[in-house]
Amino acid sequence: MIIDQHTRLYGVTGYPIGHSLSPTMHNRAFSAKGLNAVYMAFETRDIDGGLKGMRALGIKGMSVTLPHKSAVIPLLDEVDGLAKRIGAINTIVNDDGRLVGYNTDAVGALKALEEKLDLSGKTCIIIGAGGAARAIGFILKENGVELVVANRSAERGKALALSLSCPFMSLSEMEKATADLLINTTPIGMIPRKDRCPVPEQILKKGMAVMDIIYNPLETRLLKMARDRGCLTINGLSMFIHQGAEQFRLWTGIEAPVSVMMSAVKEALEV
């Protein structure tokens, strides 16, 4: 690809973002589709300045990650309805100078789950109450899943449970809990602390579905335990690729090359 005066610029902003796989994934997707576009990492604590730069320089689209996913909302011209309900965005589209926010984590998680199971009438425990838990909670509720939120901080957990009109339980209460589906949205088990697991082993029952949104490592301790106990397991890679594919579609108006994006991320993760 030749970078010239017509090249469209995209990127990811957050702090820190040195570990982000989004540049690898999106640049491979642009090149697979023959688009004159590049995607960069813009690490900053200053989201206000970052958005001014995006407007002034005509950056066409931005992925937004921690810690800016909620703080960025008042700086946008428009926010999509689902993202507004979630209270967090992870994608900005620069539509001829108007910055519009979306949350593709929600649809990414939904697609990753629907690839493996039928969600209708299912019960689900979501562990965590941060940005990812909010995105997943709202989209699952809108798809008829009966939810319970389990979180370390009762204050944050109860606030999410209230917005989802569902019960809250503490992490210690999970010992007695049962559900068709369990989703870990906390960083417990992520590298470098791969030995950790967010739930006691006995709650993992044969036939249950267990999703971990962590994708490094691909098989977390939770997923390994779940597999050994006869559960259906879903790793975080599929959610990551689908949220990125939805960003690509919002930015370019064309379908994303999902298998190319998957290979690029797998290569980067060396799996």
Footprint of ligand NAP (CB under 6 A):
66, 105, 108, 128-133, 151-153, 156, 185-188, 190, 213-215, 236, 239-240, 243
In whole angstroms, how close is the CB of 205 to ligand NAP at the nearest point? 22
Q: Nearest distance from residue 152's CB to ligand NAP, in Å?
A: 3
Letter string b/e over residues 179-207, b meaning 16 or more CB atoms within 10 A of that residue's CB: bbbbbbbbebbbeeeeeebbbeeebbeee
**CA atoms lying within 13 Å on the CB side of residue 185:** 25
Distance of CA 213 to the CA centre of its chain: 7
Give the count of beta carbons closer than 10 Å to the beta carbon of residue 73: 16
Q: Name the residue number minimizing CB distance to ligand NAP.
A: 130
CB of 104 to ligand NAP, least distance (A): 9
Catalytic residue chosen out of the listed positions 69, 141, 176, 194: 69
Smallest separation, CB 7 to ligand NAP (Å): 27
Q: Which is nearer to ligand NAP, 53 or 187 (CB)?
A: 187
69 given a catalytic annotation: yes
Burial class (CB in 10 A: 0-12, 13-18, 19+), 28: buried
The residues annotated with a catalytic role in the active site are 69
